[in-house]
A and B are shown apart, each in its own frame.
Chain A
């Protein structure tokens, strides 16, 4: 019985992969190309893990561009997005501004950005100590 349940779960997880994008892959790209590259990967039903983080302006554009595709791209419902910064203690805003300063200086390598299509990623729960990725069954 337990074996059957396990098999069902594996069956449900078919059809997506997790891709890692090192910062070196997007360092030389301008904002348009960065966002295009990210969207290409996500629309291919992939969960994307990026080394580093986008600038706040790029993050906002990414939200706008992905939401604009809802209703135009078949089965696409948007994305789940989370940035985890490794800048230590001091609350979300301190980490965010440090992240911004680093981004302006050429990249916050200590951060990790996770983006996944909402059809696959149900929710990303986060608090200061952990991040949990919940997938759609």
Chain B
């Protein structure tokens, strides 16, 4: 009996140590140009001092899945280790002509379009590997977009915990209430990745969500 109690005690300690050391794969998903990389960069910069990827006003700047391993996030005395996975924006259509208005040559636009399509396919493939996902939306845009619904539906079906983040709340056109109304079952965290606004609430939500992993 004493041996059994002793065994259980050490079992709990070892499993808790293992749990704390485990790297949680945290994916950043959403449509193009909503600020997924800006948010991932902000987190990386805060906790590792380095950025993860480049950002641009031109859609589909991120065309490959990029990640940063062993990012230890500390919040209110607690620590969790994450693998941050920044994914290319998911869209249902790609037209190289859309890139021409950004003063891009035809050849460059076609290459970017080709890489963007490959990036979308890669993003979808990575859905299988996520432990939890942050859906990043643009607070100035209409949230009733089928891509958002499809990705969230897919994650719900896979029982992957989801957090919705409405980025760009610093902009005048931002409408957080519209996004909250579209997703009433979720806490929607309004942030500005660019200016680091409301990231405390974001980290708190991430820690809360990690308990479901």
Residues of chain A at the chain B interface (Cβ within 8 Å): 55-57, 59-60, 63-64, 66-68, 70-71, 77-83, 90-94, 96-97, 99-100, 118, 124-128
In the complex, are the beta carbons of B147 and A94 less than 8 A apart?
no
Q: How far is the CA of A96 from the CA of B185 in the complex (A)?
A: 11
The answer, among A60, A70, A92, A100, for a CB contact under 8 Å with B117, is A70
In the complex, are the beta carbons of A81 and B183 less than 8 A apart?
no
In the complex, are the beta carbons of B157 and A100 less than 8 A apart?
yes
List of B residues within 8 angstroms of A56 by Cβ: 150, 153-154, 156-157
Are A96 and B121 CB-contacts (below 8 A) given A91-B183, A126-B144?
no
Instruction: Say if the beta carbon of B124 comes within 8 Å of chain A.
Output: yes
Are A63 and B183 CB-contacts (below 8 A) given A56-B157, A57-B154, A127-B142?
no
Instruction: Say if the beta carbon of B57 comes within 8 Å of chain A.
Output: no
Instruction: Say if the beta carbon of B182 comes within 8 Å of chain A.
Output: yes
Encoded as 1 (CB less than 8 Å from any A CB) or 0, chain B from 185 to 196 comes to 110000000000
User: Which of B93, B94, B147, B186 has the most chain A CB within a 10 Å cutoff?
Assistant: B93
Count, A-B residue pairs, CB within 8 A: 104
The smallest C-beta distance from B20 to any residue of chain A, in angstroms, reads 32
Encoded as 1 (CB less than 8 Å from any A CB) or 0, chain B from 165 to 182 comes to 000000000000000011
In the complex, are the beta carbons of A118 and B95 less than 8 A apart?
yes
B interface residues, tally (CB under 8 Å): 32
A-B contact pairs, 23 of them (CB 8 A): A55-B157, A56-B150, A56-B157, A59-B150, A60-B154, A63-B120, A66-B92, A67-B91, A67-B94, A67-B117, A67-B121, A70-B94, A70-B117, A78-B92, A81-B146, A91-B181, A91-B183, A93-B184, A94-B184, A100-B153, A124-B146, A126-B142, A126-B144
List of B residues within 8 angstroms of A55 by Cβ: 157
Q: How far is the CA of A90 from the CA of B185 in the complex (A)?
A: 9
The smallest C-beta distance from B173 to any residue of chain A, in angstroms, reads 16
